[in-house]
Amino acid sequence: MIHVKRIDHVAIAVSGTDEAARRLGELFGLRAGAKERVAEQNTDVLFLHAGQDDTTLELICPDGNQGLQRFLDKRGPGLHHVCFEVDDLPAALASLKAAGVDLVDETPRRGARGHLVAFLHPRSTGGVLYELCQRQGEYP
């Protein structure tokens, strides 16, 4: 079993981050953070912040990411994944693999905000795509 520190973010797949951020900001008073291109994943991301804490929605838009584009083509915009923060991502992946969980990523890779990330296959998690992240320094 792994130890989850907190829910880091919930990701919403969109066809354009700017329009989605504007609309969600109007509806829910969410504040847009900086837009970022995650080159290793061919994805544009924009985090929306709620309240005074670090609760975030991550808007993800394909910029060459074929898997994310297929998701949008098939399902349209909507919930994509939930991300849990952990202290030691390599150890968490090893523990989950030993427990028989199918991993999309066997080793961590760079994700948004410079964090290390890895995804778990939905067939092992009740049909939900989960991401695990390990913070690498503080993100503004």
What is the radius of gyration, based on Cα positions, of the chain? 15
The pLDDT value recorded for residue 140 is 42
Gap between the terminal Cα atoms of the chain? 31
**Nearest alpha-carbon partner for 102 in 67, 78, 126:** 126
What confidence tens digit (pLDDT) does each residue in 19-31 have? 999 999 999 999 9
The pLDDT value recorded for residue 137 is 63
What confidence tens digit (pLDDT) does each residue in 52-104 have? 777 799 999 999 999 999 999 999 999 999 999 999 999 999 999 999 999 99
Total count of residues recorded for the chain = 140
What's the pTM value of the predicted model, to 2 decimals? 0.92
CA dist., res. 44 & res. 52, Å (int): 25
Q: How many CA atoms lie within 13 A of 20 on its CB side?
A: 23
Question: What does the pLDDT average to over 3-22?
Answer: 96
Q: Mean pLDDT across the chain, nearest whole number?
A: 94
Question: What does the pLDDT average to over 7-17?
Answer: 96
